[in-house]
Amino acid sequence: MSEDVKTPNGIPVIGFGLYALSPEAALSAVTTALECGYRHFDTAQSYGNEEACGIAIERSGLSRSEIFVTTKVTPRNYESGRMLGSVRASLDRLRSSCADLLLIHYPSPWNEVPIEVYLEQLLQVQQAGLARLIGISNFTIAQTDRAVELLGKGNVATNQVEVHVFMQNRPIVDHCRRIGIPTTAYCALARGTVFGAPEAGLGPHATLLDIAHAHGATVGQIALAFLIHEGHVVLSTTTARDQISENLKARDISLTPADMERLRHLDLKKRIVEWPYFPVFDV
């Protein structure tokens, strides 16, 4: 298997996401993912499994320097004076002295806390040596531009947003690309929709299946490979060992320009993650 490919700022382009995993499931899944070769793990304060992630990494026997860990600050810790202590607590749970990447999980709901307040604290956390890289998640174009103003040009390591073959989120992706910010794709397998996609109709799924057959790959691998070829960091989540291993091998698939064009046409602009407190994506 190929070595980890990384973005220019050092984020491994394929990672294991811990969203919606109980501590017990996270401990098992991260242990398996480490055995399969994953070295990038994505958790959050609100997931409740930072400690499980830290224990699995500690028990692996691998050097901490070999592992890339992302965590995210939850909005209840955006208020002035709260973020630094919350990050120290996260690092204690992760059994680490520093996060490789620390993200604002999403903009303050309904702008209850001004963006200046929490982004300035994020910068202070980095300056205190508690986060090597800092970034944002679920930020719109306007919010991303404001983050660049507040954090400094070149200091926004990524914008983590929903991106998958059925929701390619072109406005924010293209904007981030223009200003040099890598995008991280969460829900990269569309919460499993790519495997059957009944509501998407036969056409999109048939295209994925056809390309998968041509490459001797799975539909999931093609969906992930597409995002990697598009320049995204990709996150996927599963507790099944076979699929954990299969997903990692997506980085070895070389899609043709014709494959990529067919896959780009599967964009249904179908958002999966919708919460009333999330910003509306740019269109």
| Residues catalogued as catalytic | 47
Query: What is the rounded distance in angstroms from the CA atom of residue 169 to the CA atom of residue 268?
Result: 10
The torsion defined by the Cα of 11, 17, 18 and 19, in degrees rounded to 10, comes to: 120
**Closest alpha carbon to 184 in 141, 236, 233:** 233
